[in-house]
Chains A and B, each alone.
Chain A
Amino acid sequence: MSHDEPQASHPTAHTSHPTVKVLDPDAHVANPAFDQSDPHGVHSGETHGHVIVSSRMLLSVLVILLVFTILTVFLSRAEGWIAEAFNTTLPNWLNVAVAMSIATVKAILVAMFFMQLKYDNKLYALIMGFCMLGVGIFIGATSQDLFTRDRIYRFKEGEIVAGGTGGDGLERRDKSPAADFDPYDPRTGKRKKDSINEPIWLFAKNDPTKPISAEALARIEASHHHHDEPVNSASRSRPMVGPRIFADPGHAGDGHGPEGEH
């Protein structure tokens, strides 16, 4: 029985891969039937068909990882040298992209060879891949939302300063943005291309590449929900000023508060 020779390397255990050696594949039985006389597997063979990665493969992966480490450090320092030597500035996203791609390559090498994802059941790689998808959605969706907020709300485009900048950011609430925003450059008469400075909903409305006819606009306006019923202050899309819990009954006020509640 094979368990009597625990170090038996099967003479026919040659695979097409010279760098990996499978531990006695001939004795491996997938999911062996439960042996009632041997419930704890004392007599079962110790071969699992698991791959033994050669030490040469592991060492070369280590060397490649170290080379990539040196490379990533060199490239990040080189950006500074290039800027001085050629008197130019490289865009910041280049630094980030290069560093992150080298880090990704190193991570894939560690995962595939040191963690043996390459040789194992593909389920593990699938699990890790799904996890990476989750991370991508997490960071990607957060970035997409956060870094385009200045296109939606003008008052969010400034830098956050401790103590605030004075005002509650609501000065524009009752002002039409079109009143003080000119989408056309007064100097050249052309439409401003920088949509960052224009609230995106207004940009979409005034986009000359997508003209909207008067009837279509009227139809859209008619289909919009108008405030013919009281709107709960929690549902308002614009913030209210001041407390509304105990509204003065004589105050028609700004919101449809609990008038005549008693």
Chain B
Amino acid sequence: MTAIDTHAGPAPTHGGKVPRWARTRHAHHFRSHEEEFDACKLGMWLFLTTEVLLFSGLFCAYVIFRGKYPEAFANGSHYLDWRWGALNTIVLLISSYTIAMSIRNAQTNNQAALKFNLLFTVFCGALFLFIKFYFEYSVKWADGKRPGSLFAYPGASDPHEPIWWSIYYSATGIHASHVLIGMVLIFWVFIKATRGTYGPKHYTGVEVVGLYWHLVDLIWIFLFPLLYLIH
């Protein structure tokens, strides 16, 4: 019976210190690291489908109320400044690019670029939230353009305008909360990356968090024209 030698690790190569990603062990109920990676990725894709269904409920509400009250929605979209929306779209697209690059950085063991790209993605998310809250939400809320029963804007020209604001705040608000969740997760991955957890052999965390962030970007790609551009 062969002795199971669990204490031997790979031979030290980098000045005697083996990086953490090279020492990673897959969970014992998987037969290989690749199986673990594929299982994690499949799990994240399944979760993303539930997120898509969550937002499709909001999109369906938009379709329903837009069909019922077209004038209120045409009026409502004029209150939104498409320039802030376009800027937010550009910010999120760039953040998608940087997190895709960070996956590549992990695969090619470019640790410095990996950390920079992860941190830059978090920064883009923060910029998105800042633009949304400071230039859009706070201005509108102060004006009285609020959802549903909180509505207090005296210059409303259509009786169904509170419904437009309900759709606007709930759709963009739930999206913004997803941006915040994504930022927290990416920052957590960044902290782990500073300890050398990710490299060519093991980059599951970066991959999975990247998928989540891309979905957040996808949702905004649809929200932006629906709310800002269609009159």
Which residues from chain A sit less than 8 Å from chain B, CB to CB?
A: 3-7, 23, 31-34, 36-37, 39-44, 46, 48-50, 52-53, 55, 58-59, 61-62, 65-66, 69, 72-73, 76-77, 79-80, 92, 95-96, 99-100, 102-103, 106-107, 110-111, 113-115, 120-121, 123-124, 127-128, 130-132, 134-135, 138-139, 142-143, 146-147, 159-162
A31-B35, A62-B94, A110-B214 known; A42 vs B52 contact (CB < 8 Å): no
Produce 1/0 per residue, B24-67, CB < 8 A to A. 01101001111101100110011011001100110110011001
Which residues from chain B sit less than 8 Å from chain A, CB to CB?
A: 2, 4-6, 8-11, 13, 19, 22-23, 25-26, 28, 31-35, 37-38, 41-42, 45-46, 48-49, 52-53, 56-57, 59-60, 63-64, 67-70, 82, 86, 89-90, 93-94, 96-97, 100-101, 104, 107-109, 159, 199-202, 210-211, 214, 217-218, 221-222, 224-226, 229-231
Residue of A nearest to B109 (CB): A7
B64, B202, B229: the one contacting A146 at CB < 8 Å is B64
A76, A99, A113, A135: the one contacting B52 at CB < 8 Å is A135
B4, B8, B38, B70: the one contacting A121 at CB < 8 Å is B38
B31, B101, B201: the one contacting A6 at CB < 8 Å is B201
Are B41 and A42 in contact, CB atoms less than 8 angstroms apart? no
Separation of A106 and B101 alpha carbons in the complex (Å): 18
Closest Cβ–Cβ distance, residue B215 to chain A (whole Å): 8
Are A142 and B60 in contact, CB atoms less than 8 angstroms apart? yes
Are B38 and A53 in contact, CB atoms less than 8 angstroms apart? no
Are A48 and B34 in contact, CB atoms less than 8 angstroms apart? yes
A3-B22, A95-B231 known; A58 vs B97 contact (CB < 8 Å): yes
Separation of A44 and B32 alpha carbons in the complex (Å): 8
Are A42 and B200 in contact, CB atoms less than 8 angstroms apart? no
Are B221 and A127 in contact, CB atoms less than 8 angstroms apart? no
Are A139 and B94 in contact, CB atoms less than 8 angstroms apart? no
Separation of A242 and B224 alpha carbons in the complex (Å): 48
| A to B CB contacts below 8 Å, 29 in the list | A6-B201, A23-B200, A31-B32, A37-B2, A42-B9, A46-B22, A46-B33, A48-B37, A61-B97, A69-B86, A72-B225, A76-B82, A77-B82, A92-B70, A95-B231, A100-B225, A106-B221, A120-B41, A121-B38, A124-B41, A131-B52, A131-B53, A132-B52, A139-B59, A139-B60, A139-B63, A146-B67, A146-B68, A159-B68
Which residues of A lie under 8 Å from residue B33 when comparing CB positions? 41, 44, 46, 48
Separation of A77 and B83 alpha carbons in the complex (Å): 12
Separation of A111 and B229 alpha carbons in the complex (Å): 23
B49, B57, B200, B225: the one contacting A103 at CB < 8 Å is B225
Are A58 and B104 in contact, CB atoms less than 8 angstroms apart? yes
Are A73 and B86 in contact, CB atoms less than 8 angstroms apart? yes
Residue of A nearest to B89 (CB): A69
